[in-house]
């Protein structure tokens, strides 16, 4: 669940406004990509992920590089995956058990730098781009660029 106290013109806002202009932020796009999970049934998933090192408050610790959420609504499976590692691109093989995939479509939120953001001068610097997952039987591969979020919708046969 995500809550935003204020939606406009603040740090981590979903949109920025100035006079009659409005810019959608990466935060907006993340919320929009996760929207299909609402009202869907949680699907159990398991992931084997590398870890990466992060420094917080002068201490070093390790975190899982990838987090996933999977849900099912009608005959559509939604898988969202976040690669938190700022430097390492990752590739995963995903196996569906107990279901036969039909078609699959994906969208990815990513930019060259994790510091990139949308501005009034460049309002679409960071926005989701479509990609096509490679399906083979009940398995497919997904590329997770560093500091990216991917959403894959799979129609089940």
User: 57-69, pLDDT tens digit by residue?
Assistant: 999 999 999 999 9
Domain membership of residue 33 (yes or no) is yes
Q: In this structure, are residues 105 and 130 in contact, taking their beta carbons and an 8 Å threshold?
A: yes
Instruction: Say yes or no to pLDDT of 84 above 90.
Output: yes
> With 90 as the cut, is the pLDDT of residue 101 above it?
no
Return d(Cα 133, Cα 139) in angstroms, integer: 10
pLDDT at 119: 95
Query: Is residue 9 in some structural domain?
Result: no
Kindly state the percentage of the chain with pLDDT values over 70: 97
What pTM value is reported for the model?
Answer: 0.89
- Please say if the pLDDT value at position 1 is more than 70: no
Dihedral sign (CA 54, 87, 123, 130)? negative
Q: Is residue 7 part of a domain?
A: no
Distance CA 28, CA 152 (A): 18
73 close to 39: Cβ distance less than 8 angstroms? yes
Q: What residues pair up with 134 in beta bridges, in sequence order?
A: 141
In-domain check, residue 128: yes
The answer to whether residue 87 is domain-embedded is yes
Mean pLDDT over residues 94-98, rounded?
Answer: 86
Residue recorded with tokens 């013109």: 9
90-94 mean pLDDT: 90
Task: Look up the CATH number of the domain holding residue 87.
Answer: 2.60.40.1180
Average pLDDT over residues 103-112: 95
Query: Does any domain span residue 151?
Result: yes
Q: Is the pLDDT of residue 87 over 90?
A: yes
Compute the average pLDDT of residues 98-114: 92
6 located within any domain:
no
10 in any annotated domain: no
The whole-number pLDDT of residue 21 equals: 95
pLDDT given at position 78: 96
Look at the chain and report how many structural domains it folds into.
Answer: 1
Per-residue pLDDT for 36 more than 70? Answer: yes
Domain span holding position 87:
15-53+60-156
pLDDT per residue as tens digits for the range 4-33? 767 777 777 899 999 999 999 999 999 999
Instruction: Report how far residue 47's alpha carbon sits from residue 92's, in angstroms, rounded to the nearest whole number.
Output: 9
């Amino acid at each position: 669940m995500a809550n935003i106290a204020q939606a406009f013109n603040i740090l981590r806002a979903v949109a920025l406004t100035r006079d009659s202009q409005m810019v959608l932020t990466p935060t907006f796009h993340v919320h929009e990509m996760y929207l299909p999970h609402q009202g869907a049934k949680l699907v159990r998933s398991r992931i084997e992920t590398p870890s990466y090192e992060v420094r917080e408050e002068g201490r070093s610790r390790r975190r899982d590089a990838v987090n996933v959420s999977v849900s099912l609504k009608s005959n559509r499976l939604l898988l969202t995956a976040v690669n938190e590692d700022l430097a390492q691109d990752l590739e995963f093989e995903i196996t569906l058990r107990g279901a036969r995939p039909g078609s699959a479509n994906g969208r990815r939120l990513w930019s060259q730098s994790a510091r990139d953001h949308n501005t009034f001068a460049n309002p679409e610097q960071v926005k989701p781009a479509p990609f096509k997952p490679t399906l083979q039987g009940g398995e497919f591969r997904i590329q997770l660029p560093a500091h990216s979020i991917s959403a894959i919708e799979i129609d089940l046969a």
